[in-house]
Amino acid sequence: MPNETLLTAQPRLAFLAAPTPEAQAAREALVALHGDVPPAEADVLIALGGDGFMLQTLHRHATLCKPVYGMKLGTVGFLMNHQRMESLVERLHAAEPAVLRPLEMIVQSESGATVGSLAYNEVSLLRQTRQAAHVRIDLNGQTRLDELICDGVLVCTPAGSTAYNFSAHGPILPLGANVMALTPIAAFRPRRWRGAVLKADTEVRFTVLDPLKRPVSATADSHEVRDAVEVTIRESRDRTVTLLFDPEHNLEERMLAEQFTSG
Cα separation, 192 vs 203, in Å, equals: 24
Q: Any binding-site annotation on 51?
A: yes
Q: Any binding-site annotation on 162?
A: yes
Check: CB of residue 2 under 8 Å from CB of residue 92.
no
Cα separation, 233 vs 204, in Å, equals: 5
Q: Any binding-site annotation on 120?
A: no
Distances (CA, A) of 10 to 1, 15, 31, 90, 179: 20, 15, 14, 10, 37
Across 17-55, b (16+ Cβ under 10 Å) vs e yields bbebeebeebbeebeeebebeebeebbbbbbbbbbbbbb
The residues that bridge with 107 in the sheet, in sequence order, are 115, 231
Q: Any binding-site annotation on 260?
A: no
State in Å, rounded, how far the first CA of the chain is from the last one.
Answer: 30
Q: Any binding-site annotation on 57?
A: no
Q: Any binding-site annotation on 167?
A: yes
Q: Any binding-site annotation on 36?
A: no
Q: Any binding-site annotation on 52?
A: yes
Give the Cβ contact number of residue 184 at 10 Å.
Answer: 24
Cβ-in-10-Å burial (0-12, 13-18, 19+) of 172 comes to middle
Q: Any binding-site annotation on 49?
A: no
Selecting among 36, 43, 51, 238, the annotated active-site residue is: 51
Question: Is-catalytic flag, 51?
Answer: yes
Q: Any binding-site annotation on 23?
A: no
Q: Any binding-site annotation on 227?
A: no
Known binding-site residue numbers: 51-52, 121-122, 151, 159, 162-167, 186
Known binding-site residue numbers for NAD(+): 51-52, 121-122, 151, 159, 162-167, 186
Active site residues: 51
